[in-house]
Amino acid sequence: MKIKFFLSLIAFVLLGSLTFSQVSVVNAVSNSLQTNPITGPITSAVHILKGRVGIRIGKFIFPAIGVSVNATNTSSASASVVTTRINSQGEYSFNLKEGSYNVSIKDLPHVDFLINEKFVQLNQDRANIDFLGVLR
Amino acid sequence: MIIIYTVTFLLFFLPLLVLPLSNFIFESSKVILAEILIELLLIFTLFRYPLSKLKASLIRFWPLLGLLLLTTADLILYPSPTSFFGNSFRLQGIFLLWHLMFFSFLSVNIELDQKLKLIYPISLVALFLGTLILGENDAQRAIGTLGEPNALAACVIFIWPFAFLIPPSSKKVYKLLIILISLAIILLSGSRSGLLAILIQLVFIALTKFKPQSLGKFTLVALILIAASLILPVKEGGGWYENRSEVWTTATSAGLQSPILGWGFGNLEYALKQASSLLGNNIRYQYVDSSHNFLLDYWVQGGVLGASLILIIITLSLKGLIKKRNRLLISAFVGVLTVMSFNPVSVVTLLAFWFLIGQGLSSE
């Protein structure tokens, strides 16, 4: 019985040490991210334009779902359209090339948007543009 | 009793663990604590039970043995810096998979529904409070004590059927509250897969209440619903980051490059990166360490062999649960399978998944 207990203890100490060694794995990666010099910007082929469409009712802002958002490139005039997602948050997102864009949204049957069109210069990885509507 | 308490802690209270240590706030601390507790369980079981009894149980777990052999072979054939421990964000390498399989094996004779009825609603309410307290991520989605919205929703999907179907109170308002709290967490997390999972679970629970004798048929209906719902992300298209249809296509293609044995467990991120470069899609610009579907994860990492083994394990387990007419565990299983079909999951959901497998594979 004593031998069994002793062997179990050794096995646990060995396994436990191996398990805790993961702490150094996590720390090593995290430290390298913190201490390595950044030699250049992280480039990405795509730029993300995202945001939310909401409707204000009283003091509350509710997500607007299924609303079409347009992004038109000001130089090439190429247009992209997405619809706010059905995830209860009224989110939309575009995958676009670098450039300047007019982002627009159309009024809904019973909703007026305070600002229908916004301009964005997309030269960083992400940009965020929200739209807010009010009930007529 | 030690085994029951440990398993209960792992399933219902580990999700609440949040450490105020910079690199270990959410996931890594949960993984390490889970592994330590599973090791303790293993040592305790080996110390307590006669080997002959364990050997008899092992026969029922033959697909798990197959997976154990496959992952061991992977360590020799396809070693990489992430094979054994996984990447530093999730720590979901072969080491964790071995622990989970042992956890599955060790929790065979646990009957949670007979004990501690208050545990489940307490866990759910604590998760809700954590969701309110810990705020949101950049996308304004609640992260709760899990640190990630979809992981939070997945955790609720496992816990709520226990709180709902093993009520400590017979009042109808209690059941209503459980549903409302669960829905509130899922809506705050903005997890569509979570919402889908709870809907499928509610349909399953409602159907089996009115016609309990058709448990097997309704399980099949739930599985068909899960399979049908896989079309949703493909239909949706678009999306800028970790777009599911794009990740799924990349994963399918990665698996086809090494169809028999896969790329080796723990090597998913390399496989996806290489396949995305060949396909020329957006994944090559992102760090993606999961196929966002558990079956594809096994397909990429273990090839036909790995995917077949996990399918056999799930099928045998579900059959076992149907045979035992365990409506609670099947509803939890159906929910967990749904969320695992769309998202990478936390160690918390992996524990739930392997626990359910163990329950299904056990003989009693």
pLDDT greater than 80 at residue A90: no
- A129 and A67 within one domain: yes
The predicted pLDDT at position A42 comes to 43
- A68 and A16 within one domain: no
Confidence class for position B173, pLDDT limits 50, 70, 90: very high
CB A8 to CB B239 under 8 A?
A: no
Contact B187/B169 with Cβ under 8 angstroms? no
- Inside any domain, residue A70: yes
Note whether A30 contacts B: Cβ–Cβ < 8 A.
Answer: yes
- A123 and A68 within one domain: yes
- A56 and A17 within one domain: no
The predicted pLDDT at position B277 comes to 83
Q: What angle do CA B255, B258, B259 make, to 5 degrees?
A: 70
Confidence class for position B116, pLDDT limits 50, 70, 90: confident
Note whether A82 contacts B: Cβ–Cβ < 8 A.
Answer: yes
- Inside any domain, residue A41: no
Count of alpha carbons within 13 angstroms of residue A73, beta-carbon side: 14
DSSP 3-state of A120:
strand
Contact B188/B142 with Cβ under 8 angstroms? yes
Contacts of A12 in chain B (CB under 8 A): 39-40, 43
| Phi/psi-derived region of residue B242, left when phi > 0, alpha when psi is between -120 and 50, beta in every other case | left
Tell me how long chain A is.
136
Tokens of B210: 């009115």
Residue from B24, B25, B39, B284 to probe the interface with A (highest A Cβ count within 10 Å): B39
Domain CATH for A62:
2.60.40.10
CB A26 to CB B91 under 8 A?
A: yes
- A14 and A53 within one domain: no
* B220 phi and psi angles, rounded to 5 deg: -65, -40
Q: What is the pTM of this model?
A: 0.80
Burial class (CB in 10 A: 0-12, 13-18, 19+), B308: middle
- A118 and A58 within one domain: yes
Size of interface A-B (CB pairs under 8 A): 76
Note whether A73 contacts B: Cβ–Cβ < 8 A.
Answer: no
With CA atoms as reference, report the closest residue to B86 among B68, B69, B71: B71
- The four Cα atoms B155, B158, B159, B161 give a dihedral, to 10 degrees, of 150
- A100 and A74 within one domain: yes
- A128 and A109 within one domain: yes
- String of b and e for B148-161 (b: at least 16 CB within 10 Å)? bbbbbbbbbbbbbb
Residue from B27, B47, B82 to probe the interface with A (highest A Cβ count within 10 Å): B47
Contacts of A7 in chain B (CB under 8 A): none
CB A22 to CB B47 under 8 A?
A: no
- A63 and A3 within one domain: no
> Helix B94-106 vs helix A2-35: angle between axes, to the nearest 10 degrees?
140
CB A89 to CB B46 under 8 A?
A: no
- A103 and A58 within one domain: yes
Query: Which is more confident, A87 or B351?
Result: B351
Contact B158/B352 with Cβ under 8 angstroms? yes
Note whether A26 contacts B: Cβ–Cβ < 8 A.
Answer: yes
With CA atoms as reference, report the closest residue to B345 among B296, B299, B307, B292: B292
- A62 and A20 within one domain: no
The predicted pLDDT at position B113 comes to 61
- A79 and A55 within one domain: yes
Lookup result for tokens 């033959």? B62
Domain ranges for chain B, please list them: 2-234+292-361
- Inside any domain, residue A120: yes
Task: Give the nearest partner residue to B190 out of A5, A11, A89, using CB atoms.
Answer: A89
Domain, as residue range, for A4: 1-36
Contacts of B46 in chain A (CB under 8 A): 8
Note whether A93 contacts B: Cβ–Cβ < 8 A.
Answer: yes
pLDDT greater than 70 at residue A36: no
Long-range contacts of B31-35 (CB under 8 A, 24+ apart): B31/A22, B31/B90, B31/B91, B31/B92, B31/B96, B31/B347, B32/A19, B32/A20, B32/A22, B32/A23, B32/B91, B34/B10, B34/B99, B34/B347, B34/B351, B35/A19, B35/B95, B35/B96, B35/B99
DSSP 3-state of A62:
strand
CB A26 to CB B24 under 8 A?
A: yes
- The four Cα atoms B153, B155, B157, B163 give a dihedral, to 10 degrees, of -130
Mean pLDDT, residues A21-33 taken together: 72
Task: Give the nearest partner residue to B282 out of A89, A94, A95, using CB atoms.
Answer: A95
Q: Any idea what DSSP says for residue A37?
A: -
Contacts of B42 in chain A (CB under 8 A): 15
- Inside any domain, residue A75: yes
The predicted pLDDT at position A89 comes to 67
CB B40 to CB A12 under 8 A?
A: yes
d(CA A47, CA A41): 14
d(CA B83, CA B87): 8
- Inside any domain, residue A67: yes
* Integer CA distances (angstroms), B5 to A23, B107, B112, B116, in order: 26, 11, 10, 10
Query: Which is more confident, B279 or B327?
Result: B327
Q: Which of A39-48, B118-127, B143-152, B203-212 has the weakest average pLDDT?
A: A39-48
Tokens of B152: 């939070």
* Mean pLDDT, rounded, of chain B: 90
Contacts of A45 in chain B (CB under 8 A): 282, 285
Q: Tell me how close the Cα of A21 comes to any Cα of chain B, in angstroms.
A: 10
Task: Give the nearest partner residue to A25 out of B88, B187, B239, using CB atoms.
Answer: B88
The predicted pLDDT at position B328 comes to 94
Q: Which of B104-108, B111-115, B265-269 has the weakest average pLDDT?
A: B111-115
CB A46 to CB B141 under 8 A?
A: no
Note whether A124 contacts B: Cβ–Cβ < 8 A.
Answer: no
DSSP per-residue letters across A63-117: EP-S-EEEEEETTT--EEEEE--TTTT-EEEEEE-SEEEEEEEPPBTTEEES--E
DSSP 3-state of A118:
strand
d(CA B44, CA B275): 44
Q: How many domains does chain A have?
A: 2
Name the percent of chain A in helix, strand, coil, to the closest 5: 25, 40, 35
Q: Any idea what DSSP says for residue B211?
A: -
Residue from A4, A10, A15 to probe the interface with B (highest B Cβ count within 10 Å): A15
Tell me how long chain B is.
364
Q: Tell me how close the Cα of A34 comes to any Cα of chain B, in angstroms.
A: 12
pLDDT greater than 60 at residue A20: yes
Name the closest residue on chain A to residue B36, using Cα atoms. Answer: A16
DSSP 3-state of B166:
coil
